[in-house]
Amino acid sequence: MPQAPEVSIAAAPEGGYPVLEEGLRPAAASAPTFKHSRLQRLADRWAHLGFLICSLLVVVLIGGILYFLATRGLAAFLPLAGNTGRALSFSEVFLSADWAPSSDRFGILPFIAGSLGVTGLALLIAAPAGVLTGVFIAKMAPAWMRNLMRQVMDLLVGIPSVVYGIFGLTVVLPLVSRTWLADAPASGFAVSALILAVMIVPTIVSLSTDAFESLPAALDEGAQALGSSRWQAIWRVLIPAARPRLLTATVLGLGRAIGEAMAVQMVIGNNPQWMALMRESTDRAPFLRALFTPAATLTTELVQELPNTAAGSTWNNVLFAMGLLLYLLTMVLILATRRLGRGKEA
């Protein structure tokens, strides 16, 4: 493709030729081919401005969300005039497991641990299943199965989180409780993670299908020419080759899981004291017990308590700090996907 010299839009000749995307420009870069009327030029310029404003709005939004969450979230740690309570220290919020807002104790460690725990468990199921389904769709399934899987994933991703929640509440919880727990309540990490896994699998599947489909065909053909079986080609050539994008898919799935609120809130049991409960328990299999202990996460606690707190109270501010934490986490994850994708095609 002939590389035209970089011409910025601002420097285009008056009423000049249109600048096309992707470095494609009219061959004669110096002479405008058509004279456009004043009205056309004006409309062009105003439209350009309008489109620019629309995209700037998105940038402003990203900053605005950060600003407003920070003003409320950080207020918990600052001795501000509008606060009704005292200023907290970072360590008593982020490093303490003691959540008792009515007694002025605001340790959010149980929610951070809860979010990480439920997300980790969900990924443990969804990441391998998602990647393998991706490679299945891209490299193994016959056409009818490929189509069927696409439709299944489209539908799974379109189901609202409250419907996942009600399914978990009315179908999965009773089933698990009846079959494995001798009718003891089953809410907790295990069922939440299972529901979450189904919710994030479509994201991982569709991104990893893309990843496998965009690999050069020569890789697969080469492996087969060297005598690989289908699975050997997948396991030793295709998956390693697609790895950066598979990791990106997993990270985006992680982001979805950690931010999900309603479905998890409906099945996790909403117990902010779950860590204390675990510590006191003398159970022989603490991990297994933790799976079925009612717990709470950053998002579920927000849904649970935000409506009951007064704006400006320390309690309310700490809840907003939890929201800020979620937002910062999103940003870190997105930047991480950039890192992972670097060196590959953007």
Cα–Cα separations (whole angstroms), residue 11 to 3, 18, 198: 17, 12, 51
DSSP string, 246-280: HHHHHHHHHHHHHH--HHHHHHSB--TTHHHHHHH
Out of 148, 181, 184, 288, the residue judged to bind other proteins by CB under 8 A: 148
87 binds other proteins (CB under 8 A): no
Stretch binding other proteins (CB under 8 A), from 43-51, 76-84, 105-113, 271-279: 43-51
Site string for other proteins, 192-221 (x = CB under 8 A): ------x--x--------------------
- The type of residue at 29 is A
Which of residues 288, 334, 339, 344 is near other proteins by CB under 8 A? 334
Alpha-carbon distance of 199 to 116, in angstroms, equals 16
Contact residue for other proteins among 34, 79, 82, 287 (CB under 8 A): 34
Q: Which of 13, 29, 52, 221 binds other proteins (CB under 8 A)?
A: 52
Among 13, 80, 154, 184, binds other proteins (CB under 8 A): 154
Using CB under 8 A, pick the residue from 117, 165, 269, 272 that binds other proteins. Answer: 165
Element (H, E) at 99: strand 99-100
Q: How far is CA 175 from CA 66, 194, 199, 287, 291, in A?
A: 42, 13, 19, 21, 15
What is the closest distance, in whole angstroms, from the C-beta atom of residue 180 to other proteins in the complex? 18
**Footprint on residues 266-295 left by other proteins (CB under 8 A):** 266
Residue 5 touches other proteins, criterion: CB under 8 A = no
Among 72, 119, 123, 188, binds other proteins (CB under 8 A): 72
**C-beta of 257 vs 290, nearer to other proteins:** 257
- Under the binding rule (CB under 8 A), the answer on residue 223 touching other proteins is yes
**Please, are residues 192 and 215 in contact by the beta-carbon 8 Å criterion?**
no
C-alpha–C-alpha distance, residues 227 and 71, integer Å: 62
- Beta carbon nearer to other proteins, 290 or 302: 302
Give rounded-to-5 percent helix, strand, coil for the chain: 70, 0, 30
- Pick one of 86, 95, 235, 288: the residue that binds other proteins (CB under 8 A): 235
Residue (255 or 278) nearer to other proteins, CB = 255
Distances (CA, A) of 96 to 83, 93, 99, 318, 323: 22, 6, 8, 13, 18
Determine contact, residues 260/199, Cβ cutoff 8 Å.
yes
